[in-house]
Amino acid sequence: MLRLSIVSASFLGAITLGGCADLSATQQRTLTGSAGGAAGGALIGAMAGNAGVGALIGAGAGAAGGYLYDRTKQNEQRAYQSGFQEGQRR
């Protein structure tokens, strides 16, 4: 029974992530942060006695972290492009 549950969860996860191919980089990073945060929060919440609340809090924190990470990467890319264009003009 446990093996069936693991296989089913793995299959469902693969199908769910397969639908993420057409997401923007911001959406992908936010979703990845949310999923990672939910998993970590569920683990910590299970140890504390309430996995559901832990997963919910972790998902929110992970989504915020993923979004902030994306904004940082976008700013780095803009700074690089600006410097590259400035170097081309000289």
Q: Taking the domains of the chain in order of start, what are their residue ranges?
A: 23-89
- Reported confidence tier of residue 13, pLDDT bands at 50, 70, 90: low
- pLDDT of 82 > 70? The answer is yes
Identify the CA nearest to 34 among candidates 12, 10, 64.
64
- In this predicted structure, the answer to whether residue 55 has a pLDDT above a threshold of 80 is yes
The burial class, CB within 10 Å (0-12 / 13-18 / 19+), for 59 is: buried
What pLDDT digit, counting tens, does each position of 30-47 carry? Answer: 988 998 999 899 988 888
Tokens 């992530």 sit at which residue? 17
Query: pTM of the full predicted structure?
Result: 0.68
* Average model confidence (pLDDT) across the chain: 84
Higher confidence at residue 16 or residue 23? 23
